[in-house]
């Protein structure tokens, strides 16, 4: 697939595999329509703005919460209320 770079103003042209060998016949039309929709949305398919630099993670932490269950998520939320703790 070759994507038209003009709608988003990005000069990068993406070349990818065809969906024909990987999609069964009953899903090919749906997946083709879905792919055209996603490629038409600049906020989803713009390769120039897709990856952004992030700050590297800290090496030191005050707390490490293991588990995201009922108590773990509440504990993490409470600990994150103090801006001086990492």
- State yes or no: pLDDT of 73 exceeds 70: yes
pTM above 0.75, yes or no: no
- State yes or no: pLDDT of 63 exceeds 60: yes
Please, what is the average pLDDT of the chain? 75
Strand partners, 15: 2
Residue 35: predicted pLDDT: 77
In whole angstroms, give the CA distance from residue 53 to residue 55.
7
Phi and psi at residue 51, to the nearest 5°: -105, 130
Residue 19: predicted pLDDT: 66
Are residues 64 and 41 in contact, defined by beta-carbon separation less than 8 angstroms? no
Q: What is the mean pLDDT of residues 47-59?
A: 72
- Residue 5: band (very low, low, confident or very high) from pLDDT cuts 50, 70, 90: very low
């Amino acid at each position: 697939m070759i994507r038209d770079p003009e709608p988003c103003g990005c000069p990068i042209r993406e070349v990818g595999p065809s969906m024909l060998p990987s999609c069964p016949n009953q899903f090919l039309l749906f997946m083709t329509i879905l792919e055209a929709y996603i490629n038409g949305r600049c906020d989803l398919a713009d390769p120039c703005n897709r990856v952004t630099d992030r700050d590297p993670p800290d090496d030191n932490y005050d707390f490490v919460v293991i588990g995201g269950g009922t108590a773990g998520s509440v504990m993490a939320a409470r600990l994150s209320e103090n801006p001086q703790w990492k």
